[in-house]
Amino acid sequence: MFVAAPFADRRVAGKLLDTLLAHARSRRVSAIYLGTTDKFLAAHRFYEKRNFKEVQKAELPASLPVMVVDSKSYVLRGP
């Protein structure tokens, strides 16, 4: 998830994620997985503050597409 720089200080990313999580809860989604790179430290903090837990690639569902640039993965269970 990316937010344009002019909107980053307006908490847009948090609001977008909150909307996604509310939708996931309404659909009874059991887990949300995401991938990122080692270099996006702000993204790591963002997701970790929101209770996403880092997981190893071996723990990802086999059906989950992983991008070549994804070197770090997270999961949020029972959003």
**Shortest CA distance to 75 belongs to which of 49, 46, 51?**
51
The whole-model pTM stands at 0.86
Cβ atoms of residues 19 and 42 within 8 Å: no
pLDDT beyond 90 at 6: no
What's the confidence (pLDDT) of residue 18? 95
49 within a domain of the structure (yes/no): yes
28-76 pLDDT, tens digit per residue, is: 999 999 999 999 998 999 999 999 999 999 999 999 999 999 999 999 9
57 within a domain of the structure (yes/no): yes
70 within a domain of the structure (yes/no): yes
Q: Tell how far CA 28 is from the center of its chain.
A: 17
Calculate ∠ Cα 36-37-39, nearest 5°.
130
Neighbours of 36 (CB within 10 A): 19
50 within a domain of the structure (yes/no): yes
What's the confidence (pLDDT) of residue 31? 97
The one-character DSSP state at 76 is: E
The parent domain of residue 37 ranges over 29-79
pLDDT beyond 80 at 9: no
12 within a domain of the structure (yes/no): no
- Number of domains within the chain: 1
